[in-house]
């Protein structure tokens, strides 16, 4: 029986326990090496975030890669999108592997794999790796063992790429910024991008110790970032997550500007510049109803996908769209990169501010954010079809009718837990909470 290891964003779990164990990491390294060899490549790029467990997992993966006769190019601590980029510039690289659990606590870790074009593996390549791991046959080694090479300038190459996406001459005066590195992978990349010539930058949470990654900091915890932006009278702030593929901005007044608002700001700007291919933006079902309404006002075609950046990227490619993402701050600008990139997204915000000569607080007013309430209902592990129960369907329809165009109902099962997630958006907080409770109580009574 084949193992299903890949989730919506690679393989993830508690470090040093299945599936993030040395044994599985070794097999993943071998499987990726075999995949690269099958496709005619000679090396695999490996990077990691700042977690204590990263060295252990890297050692196992690298051993697996070189045992197949493929070379391992280790780039050390670097953002996830940095590995995706480096995989595209080394001619003989057939894959890029990132050891990171993104925004999760330090006790977790994960393994993300890109192909040689810097894109996340498709289902057939994932199946190849899962099949290899499930195969208990003894590995037959090769006489032509690969070598391990450290790439000393990986962050420099990646930062130069990032800077190449922005015409810095549009910045007329130094921008005062606070950057929260989440004690993660951006701590030694961001300073290479936000140089003194154009930015007066204060870096916070930039002293990783192997355990403090994402600890009350970064894109999920912006309270400190907001406070320091206000205290230092900065123009804005950016909070990255542990592997810097996400960003949440903070305006000069200390208010959060999340992914949906960033999409709204950049979509409007690109349309006005005549640079929005196919007049299309892609986001997920979790996007706020305010974004849906705003894009409709701008007469921009809006495509909605299931949760997960891989679904967003797939629809972007299908519809020739160059901008898409999630409210979490995982944003894709495919004109420049193949995957979500927090630092790249931050540069896009700076570009809009510089060209329009408007503060972020002003730009962020374009879209109204509707109050959102999320509640979970514990259910049986079999996850029965709740839409076959008349009482639940009737209650959902009643709430949807009362909300009309001023809100929406989204109910979905958790992908990892026996929970039914009930999300309601409405015109005001109290009414939204009440609607959410009504549906949850009905589900509890009849499911």
Q: Report the topology of domain 257-366.
A: Alpha-D-Glucose-1,6-Bisphosphate; Chain A, domain 3 (3.40.120)
**Annotation says 102 is catalytic:** yes
Rounded to the nearest integer, the mean pLDDT of the chain is: 94
Residue extents of the structural domains in the chain: 11-152, 158-255, 257-366, 372-446
End-to-end alpha carbon distance in the chain:
32
H or E stretch including 62? helix 54-67
Q: What CA–CA distance (Å, rounded) separates 256 from 226? A: 8
* Residue, of 320 and 141, whose pLDDT is higher: 320
Per-residue pLDDT at 20 exceeds 60: yes
Instruction: Find tokens 């165009």 and name the residue.
Output: 405
Domain at 372-446: CATH architecture: 2-Layer Sandwich (3.30)
pLDDT tens string 96-119? 999 999 999 999 999 999 999 999
Rounded mean pLDDT, 224-250: 98
The pLDDT, as a whole number, for residue 140 is: 72
* Residue, of 417 and 75, whose pLDDT is higher: 75
pLDDT tens string 246-288? 999 999 999 999 999 999 999 999 999 999 999 999 999 889 9
Q: Which of 272, 224, 230, 269 is nearest to 248 (CA)?
A: 224
pLDDT tens string 366-408? 999 999 999 999 888 778 899 999 999 999 999 999 999 889 9
One-letter-per-residue 3-state SS of 269-287: HHHHCCCCHHHEEEEECCC
What's the angle, vertex CA 110, arms to CA 412 and CA 152, rounded to 5?
A: 140
Which structure tokens are listed for 388? 């076959």
Task: Say whether 372-446 and 11-152 share the same fold.
Answer: no
Superfamily of domain 11-152: Alpha-D-Glucose-1,6-Bisphosphate, subunit A, domain 3 (3.40.120.10)
Superfamily of domain 158-255: Alpha-D-Glucose-1,6-Bisphosphate, subunit A, domain 3 (3.40.120.10)
pLDDT band at 413 (very low <50, low <70, confident <90, very high): confident
Catalytic residue among 53, 67, 102, 219: 102
pLDDT tens string 21-56? 999 999 999 999 999 999 999 999 999 999 999 999
The pLDDT, as a whole number, for residue 137 is: 65
The pLDDT, as a whole number, for residue 1 is: 42
CB–CB of 298/311 below 8 Å? no
């Amino acid at each position: 029986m084949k193992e299903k290891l890949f989730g919506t964003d690679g393989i993830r779990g508690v470090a040093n326990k299945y599936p993030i164990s040395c044994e599985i990491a070794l097999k993943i390294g071998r499987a990726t090496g075999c995949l690269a060899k099958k496709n005619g490549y000679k090396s695999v790029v490996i990077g990691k975030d700042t977690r204590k467990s990263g060295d252990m997992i890297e050692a196992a993966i690298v051993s697996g890669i070189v045992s197949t006769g493929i070379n391992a190019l280790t780039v050390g601590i670097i953002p996830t999108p940095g590995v995706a980029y480096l995989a595209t510039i080394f001619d003989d690289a057939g894959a890029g592997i990132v050891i990171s659990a993104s925004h999760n606590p330090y006790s977790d870790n994960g393994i993300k794999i890109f192909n040689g074009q810097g894109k996340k593996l498709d289902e057939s390549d994932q199946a190849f790796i899962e099949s290899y791991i499930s195969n208990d046959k003894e590995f037959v080694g090769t006489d032509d063992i690969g070598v391990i090479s450290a790439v000393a300038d990986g962050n420099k190459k990646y930062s130069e790429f990032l800077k190449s996406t922005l015409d810095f001459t549009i910045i007329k005066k130094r921008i005062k910024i606070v950057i929260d590195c989440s004690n993660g992978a951006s701590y030694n990349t961001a300073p290479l991008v936000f140089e003194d010539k154009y930015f007066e930058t204060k870096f916070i949470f930039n002293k990783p110790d192997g355990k403090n990654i994402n600890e009350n900091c970064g894109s999920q915890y912006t309270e400190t970032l907001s406070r320091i932006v206000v205290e230092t009278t900065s123009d804005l702030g950016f909070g990255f997550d542990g592997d810097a593929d996400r960003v949440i901005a903070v305006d000069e007044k200390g208010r959060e500007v999340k992914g949906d608002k960033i999409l709204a700001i950049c979509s409007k700007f690109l349309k006005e510049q005549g640079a929005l291919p196919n007049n299309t933006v892609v986001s997920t079902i979790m996007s706020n109803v305010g974004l849906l309404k705003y894009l409709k006002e701008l007469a921009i075609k809006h495509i909605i996908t299931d949760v997960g950046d891989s679904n967003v990227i797939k629809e972007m490619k299908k519809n020739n769209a160059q901008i898409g993402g999630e409210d979490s701050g995982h944003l894709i600008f495919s004109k420049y990169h193949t995957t979500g990139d927090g630092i790249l997204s931050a540069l896009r915000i700076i570009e809009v501010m510089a060209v329009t000569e408007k503060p972020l607080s002003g730009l962020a007013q374009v879209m109204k954010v509707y109050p959102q309430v999320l509640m979970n209902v514990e259910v049986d592990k079999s996850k029965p079809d709740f839409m076959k129960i008349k009482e639940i369907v009737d209650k959902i329809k009643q709430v949807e009718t009362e909300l009309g165009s001023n809100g929406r109902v989204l109910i979905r099962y958790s992908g990892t837990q026996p929970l039914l997630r009930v999300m309601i958006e409405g015109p005001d907080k109290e009414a939204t909470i009440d609607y959410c409770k009504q549906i949850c109580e009905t589900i509890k009574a009849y499911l």
